[in-house]
């Protein structure tokens, strides 16, 4: 009895120690709610909203607006993204606020006379900007599920932009780079202080123009962005600089609530984003394949492990390229078939455990591998959970925007298949589901995911990284569900990436042993090293103890899990 008491007492002490020192350890613990995002100050904004009685949607909206201020590489009001939302009753819904092609777009708008993409214009020109969706998406989610007034959840971002927040070193480094990039006039002075010098690390960085735009959104909701003064200024800027987005595009933009795609893995429910994201369906297809693996015979990170995971990726990405696009333009997409157990079984049957497949014989890829998107995860005291990924594409999107408005536009049009009908074994895909059309949403790889157990959130996870997103979320999910890893270990464990074409297996350089590399090459895999894959922001929830555990990937040192 005494011993039992002592043990409980010391466990309690250990737990209190972990709570109070949680910033010192890789994981953060909490009882009442948590936000894990790419910027700690923004996670704090979200947690303050939770403390004020807001729910996970309120906190997510506040965090998203805050990241548009603190993490301008990917946090945004000029881009788009997705929310996966699990409610207290276990029901899951999603919001699609992916950008849309402007009304004046055409399938060949980026091609020169030689039929090739002209001057990288689908990434690096104002034509690359899709009609932004973020404000509409956050507004729609808040209108339906938020608890606190809209103004209250936008105000913290207004404050951060107007009064400033502590300028961090990573922004300081970026600012030095942009200072010389005269081709991007907005960016040259973007990080400046009132004296026209780059803000010093540790000093307050103020963004008055952005604060002003955010005030319009705060006061008028979605109309503050899609109509009136801001919309007029967006149109003026586009007209003056060769863009095609008009007030009509903005007024017509809508965010859509869509049914989540659902799969299972050994008793867990996996909820993901349906098309126009390829993330949910491809993740579920690959998890279904993993369910067929005899894990008793395969050690984590062994050659066989990497091989079987890479082969599942190869097949998942081939199907992605062949079938997926905007559901409003592709009503016949076989998503249910792709996420079925039977399809995984078919795909698994021709997987040789001793030899790499050849992508040409598996079938079709897609060029871009945009690195800057951002993900955050939220959970509240009632067990509502939000998994939100949104993006500008690449770092700082198109790196252009109006100085008066103070925000950067996305370059998401680059996610469409730019050259109709031309698919190569290098990077290019020209399949029909993802060709450009007015008001169409470009296919995405963003994979905001919630895993549920008995109707409660178990894991909330997501990452930036272009097409690598699907694979890093996939492996982190597998690490937690199959290998019972703690969330921080699951996030930090070695990741690989295969996207069918190019037929290359990418791995994290310092995390794969020379022996494994040799063995994989002998099996026919073509290897390519990378410093790191994924920037995962995850939360796990223990329904028995009610303890929430969060971890932010060390690949993003400014990130932070904040709980209370």
- Region from 171-179, 189-197, 438-446, 491-499 binding ligand GLY, contact rule CB under 6 A: 438-446
Shortest gap between Cβ of 278 and ligand GLY (angstroms)?
Answer: 8
Binding mask 53-92 for ligand GLY (x = CB under 6 A): ----------------------------------------
Report whether the peptide linkage leading into residue 502 is cis, meaning its omega lies within 30 degrees of zero. Answer: yes
User: Which of 28, 63, 199, 373 is an active site residue?
Assistant: 373
**Nearer residue to ligand GLY within complex by CB, 373 or 471:** 373
What is the closest distance, in whole angstroms, from the C-beta atom of residue 394 to ligand GLY in the complex? Answer: 8
Q: Are 340 and 41 in contact (CB under 8 A)?
A: no
Query: Toward ligand GLY, which CB reaches closer, 207 or 532?
Result: 532
Q: Provide, rounded to whole angstroms, the least separation between the CB of residue 468 and ligand GLY.
A: 10
* C-beta of 96 vs 393, nearer to ligand GLY: 393
552 binds ligand GLY (CB under 6 A): no
Q: Is 373 a catalytic residue?
A: yes
Query: Which residue number, 373 or 549, has a Cβ lying nearer to ligand GLY?
Result: 373
What tokens appear for 296 in the block?
A: 């008793």
Residue nearest to ligand GLY (CB): 444
For residues 236 and 246, is the Cβ–Cβ distance under 8 A?
A: no
Give CA–CA dist 192/175, Å, rounded. Answer: 8
Give the 3-state secondary structure of 416-435.
Answer: CECCCCCCCCCCCCCCHHHE
**Can you list the alpha helix ranges (DSSP code H) found in 111-184?**
134-145, 150-163, 169-179
Give the residue, chosen from 445, 506, 540, 552, that forms a contact with ligand GLY under the rule CB under 6 A: 445
Q: Of 374-413, which residues contact ligand GLY (CB under 6 A)?
A: 391, 393
Strands (E), 219-319: 256-259, 261-265, 268-272
Pair 532, 515: CB distance under 8 Å: no
Is-contact 255 139, C-beta < 8 A? yes
Contact between 444 and ligand GLY per CB under 6 A: yes
Asked whether position 132 contacts ligand GLY by CB under 6 A, the answer is no
Q: Is the peptide bond before 276 cis (omega within 30 degrees of 0)?
A: yes
Least distance between ligand GLY and beta carbon 446 (Å) = 5
Burial class of residue 290, CB neighbours in 10 A (0-12, 13-18, 19+):
buried
Q: Work out how close the CB of 98 gets to ligand GLY at its nearest, in angstroms, rounded to a whole number.
A: 7
Stretches 420-428, 442-450, 451-459, 513-521: which one binds ligand GLY (CB under 6 A)? 442-450
> From CA 468, how far away is CA 88, in angstroms rounded?
31
Q: Which of 47, 186, 435, 446 binds ligand GLY (CB under 6 A)?
A: 446
Q: Is 134 an interacting residue with respect to ligand GLY (CB under 6 A)?
A: no
Q: For residues 452 and 458, is the Cβ–Cβ distance under 8 A?
A: yes
Neighbours of 119 (CB within 10 A): 11
Query: 122 vs 540, which CB is nearer to ligand GLY?
Result: 122
Binding site for ligand GLY (CB under 6 A): 370, 373, 391, 393, 415, 444-446, 466
Residues serving a catalytic function are 373
């Amino acid at each position: 009895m005494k011993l039992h008491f002592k043990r409980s007492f010391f466990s309690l002490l250990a737990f209190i120690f972990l709570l109070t020192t949680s910033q010192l350890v890789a994981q953060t613990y909490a009882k009442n709610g948590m936000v894990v995002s790419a910027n700690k100050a923004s996670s704090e904004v979200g947690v303050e909203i939770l403390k004020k009685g807001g729910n996970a949607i309120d906190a997510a909206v506040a965090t998203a607006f805050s990241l548009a201020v603190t993490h301008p590489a990917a946090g945004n009001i000029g881009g788009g993204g997705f929310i996966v939302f699990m409610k207290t009753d276990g029901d899951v819904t999603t919001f699609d606020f992916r950008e849309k092609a402007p009304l004046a777009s055409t399938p060949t708008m980026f091609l020169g006379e030689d039929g090739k993409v002209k001057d990288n214009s689908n990434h690096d020109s104002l034509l690359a900007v899709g009609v932004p969706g973020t404000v509409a998406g956050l507004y729609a989610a808040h209108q339906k599920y938020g608890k606190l007034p809209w103004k209250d959840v936008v105000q913290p971002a207004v404050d951060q932009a107007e009064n400033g927040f502590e300028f961090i070193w990573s922004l300081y480094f970026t600012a030095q780079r942009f200072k010389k990039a005269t081709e991007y006039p907005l960016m040259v002075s973007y990080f400046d202080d009132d004296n026209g010098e780059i803000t010093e690390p540790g000093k307050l960085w103020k963004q008055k123009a952005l604060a002003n735009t955010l005030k319009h959104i705060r006061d008028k909701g979605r109309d503050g962005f899609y109509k009136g003064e801001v919309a007029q200024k967006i149109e003026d800027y586009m007209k003056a600089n060769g863009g095609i987005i008009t007030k009509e595009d903005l007024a017509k933009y809508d965010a859509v609530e869509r049914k989540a795609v659902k799969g299972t893995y050994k008793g867990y429910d996996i909820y993901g984003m349906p098309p126009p994201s390829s993330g949910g369906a491809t993740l579920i297809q690959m998890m279904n394949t993993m369910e067929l693996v005899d894990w008793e015979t395969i050690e984590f990170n062994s050659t066989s492990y990497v091989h079987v995971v890479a082969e599942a990726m190869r097949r998942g990405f081939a199907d992605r390229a062949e079938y997926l696009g905007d559901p409003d333009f592709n009503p016949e997409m076989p998503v249910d078939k792709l996420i079925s157990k039977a399809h995984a079984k078919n795909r698994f049957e021709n997987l040789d455990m001793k030899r790499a497949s050849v992508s040409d014989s598996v079938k079709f890829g897609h060029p871009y591998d945009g690195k800057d998107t951002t993900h955050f995860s939220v959970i509240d005291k009632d067990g509502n959970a939000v998994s939100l990924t949104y993006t500008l594409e690449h770092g700082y999107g198109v790196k252009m925007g109006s100085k008066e408005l103070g925000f950067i536009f996305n370059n998401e049009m680059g996610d469409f298949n730019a050259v109709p009908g031309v698919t190569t074994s290098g990077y290019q895909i020209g399949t029909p589901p993802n060709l450009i059309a007015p008001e169409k949403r470009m296919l995405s790889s963003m994979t905001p995911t919630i895993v549920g157990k008995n109707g409660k959130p178990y894991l909330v996870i997501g990452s930036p990284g272009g097409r690598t997103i699907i694979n890093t979320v996939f492996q982190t999910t597998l690490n937690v569900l199959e290998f019972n890893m703690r969330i921080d270990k699951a996030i930090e464990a070695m990741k690989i990436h295969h996207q069918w074409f190019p037929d290359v297996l990418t791995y994290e350089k310092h995390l794969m042993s020379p022996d494994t590399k040799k063995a994989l090459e002998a099996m026919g895999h073509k290897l390519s090293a990378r410093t790191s894959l994924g920037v995962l922001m995850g939360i796990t929830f223990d329904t028995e103890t009610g303890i929430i555990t969060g971890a932010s990937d060390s690949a993003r040192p400014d990130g932070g899990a904040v709980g209370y």
